[in-house]
Amino acid sequence: MAKQALITGITGQDGYHLAELLHDKGYVVYGLIRGQQNPKKQRVEQEQPYVKLIEADLTDPSSLVYALELSKPDEVYNLAAISHVGYSFKTPQLVADVTAKGALNILEAIRQSRGNKRIRFYQASTSEMFGGLDYNRPGTGYDENALFHPRSPYGVSKLYAHWITKNYRESYGMHASCGILFNHEGPRRGVEFVTRKISNAVARIQLGKQSILELGNLESKRDWGYAGDYVEGMWLMLQQDRPDDYVLATGESHSVKDLLELAFKEIGIDNWKPYVQQNPAFLRPIEVDILLGNPSKAEKKLGWKRKVDFPGLVKMMVQYDIGLESASSQID
C-alpha cells in the first residue's frame, strides 16, 4: 500500500520540493494549509494537484488532531514556521507561537493520536541555532555536536523546537528526527531571502525593469545549497531504523558579496557595485556573521550528498528569474 505523508509548510519552498519528491516516490501527499483565503492555495492546486490540502494551523492544536485523523500519515514533515530571521525581530511572540510552540503542538497531537507508534516525524531545525560567534566559530564546520548560541527570536524558537523534538524521542520513544539544515535555496525561494532577492533583481536589471538593488549586510557568509538536494536528505532521515539528528550542508561558505559577483557575472556585468546600495532597513539588530556546516554524518550514514554547487545554484536562480521576468510586464 502507498505510504501517506503529511507536510506542514506545503506552500513554502521546501514544501514544494518535498511534495514533488514524495509524489514521485509513490506517496499519497497531504499538505497543511492555513488561512481562510491563502493566496498560495491556488498555486499548489494548479502546480501540484496531487497534494491533498487540509485546512489547519500550527497554532491551533485541535486542527492538527483533525489533520492527523484525516491523513493517517506514516510520516509527518514539520516544515511550517515563520522562517525569516529579520522579520522574527519584529514579531518575536508570533514566531515563538508558530515556530517553537507549533512544533510542540504537532508532536503532542501525534503522541495522543491512534497512530502514534507508527508515525515518523521530521523537524526542520536550522543552522541559525549555531550563531557563528567568536568563541564558537565553525572551524571546519558545525556538526551535530557543536554548541548552540542562537542570535535571533527565530533561532531561539527553532532551538526550542529542536529540543522538544529530541525530548519526545527520548521520553516517548517516538521516531522523531531533526535535520539541522544550512541555507538552501532555488527558484522557489521567497524573494524576501537574499539569494532570490539578488537573482530576481539581477534579472530585472538585465531586462531594464530595475536600476538599483538595496541590501543590508554584504559581509555575512552562508553555506548555501540547493533545496532540491536537501529534501532528499529529509526523506532519508525518516527511512532509517532509528531516529537521529543530522546536519545537511555543502561544507563551503560564501559571502553575500561572492553571491553578487556570480549573479551579476551571469548577465555579463563584472562590477556590481554601481547597481547595489546599502539600506539600513535591511540590517538586523544582531547578525550571524558566518555559517559553515559539516555534513559528514549525513554523508556517511544516509549516503546523502549535495549535487548542485554554489555557482550552479546562482546560475539556476538567475536564469529562472530571467525567464520569469521576461514573461511579466511589471516595471519599478
* Catalytic residue from among 30, 154, 230, 320: 154
Smallest distance from ligand NAP to CB 276, Å: 22
* Catalytic residue from among 99, 126, 195, 250: 126
Using the rule CB under 6 A, is 316 a contact of ligand NAP?
Answer: no
Crossing angle for the helix pair 256-265 and 194-206, nearest 10 degrees?
A: 30
Cβ atoms within 10 A of the Cβ of 328, count? Answer: 10
Cβ atoms within 10 A of the Cβ of 62, count? Answer: 11
Query: 295 with 249: CB under 8 angstroms?
Result: yes
Angle at 90 (CA atoms; ends 54, 104), nearest 5 degrees: 40
Using the rule CB under 6 A, is 256 a contact of ligand G4F?
Answer: yes
Nearer to ligand NAP, 181 or 317 (CB): 181
Cβ atoms within 10 A of the Cβ of 207, count? Answer: 15
Using the rule CB under 6 A, is 199 a contact of ligand G4F?
Answer: no
Angstrom distances, CA of residue 213 to CA of 22, 194, 218, 224: 37, 11, 12, 21
* Catalytic residue from among 20, 27, 30, 128: 128
Pick what 30 binds: ligand G4F, ligand NAP, none; C-beta below 5 to 8 Å, kind-dependent: none
Closest CA to 14 of 80, 58, 73, 71: 80
Q: 53-92: which residues touch ligand NAP (CB under 6 A)? A: 57-59, 79-83
CA separation for the pair 145, 326 (Å, rounded): 46
Asked about 219 being catalytic, the answer comes back as no
Asked about 320 being catalytic, the answer comes back as no
Smallest distance from ligand NAP to CB 206, Å: 25
Pick what 79 binds: ligand G4F, ligand NAP, none; C-beta below 5 to 8 Å, kind-dependent: ligand NAP
Cβ burial of 285 (10 Å; 0-12, 13-18, 19+) is: exposed
Q: Residue with the closest Cβ to ligand NAP?
A: 12
Q: 28-57: which residues touch ligand NAP (CB under 6 A)? A: 32, 34-35, 38, 40, 57
Using the rule CB under 6 A, is 127 a contact of ligand G4F?
Answer: yes
CA separation for the pair 318, 330 (Å, rounded): 17
Draw the binding track, 271-300, toward ligand G4F (x: CB under 6 A; -: no contact): -----------x-x--x---x---------
Smallest distance from ligand NAP to CB 35, Å: 6
Cβ atoms within 10 A of the Cβ of 47, count? Answer: 11
Distance of CA 176 to the CA centre of its chain: 18
Asked about 160 being catalytic, the answer comes back as no
CA separation for the pair 175, 118 (Å, rounded): 8
Crossing angle for the helix pair 256-265 and 310-326, nearest 10 degrees?
A: 60
Using the rule CB under 6 A, is 291 a contact of ligand NAP?
Answer: no
Draw the binding track, 173-192, toward ligand G4F (x: CB under 6 A; -: no contact): ---------xx--------x
Among 11, 63, 83, 113, binds ligand G4F (CB under 6 A): 83
Q: What is the contact surface with ligand G4F in residues (CB under 6 A)? A: 83, 85-86, 126-128, 182-183, 192-194, 197, 215-217, 220, 222, 256, 282, 284, 287, 291
Residues acting as catalytic residues: 126, 128, 154
Query: By the criterion CB under 6 A, which residues form the site for ligand NAP?
Result: 8-15, 32, 34-35, 38, 40, 57-59, 79-83, 98, 124, 126, 181, 183-184, 190
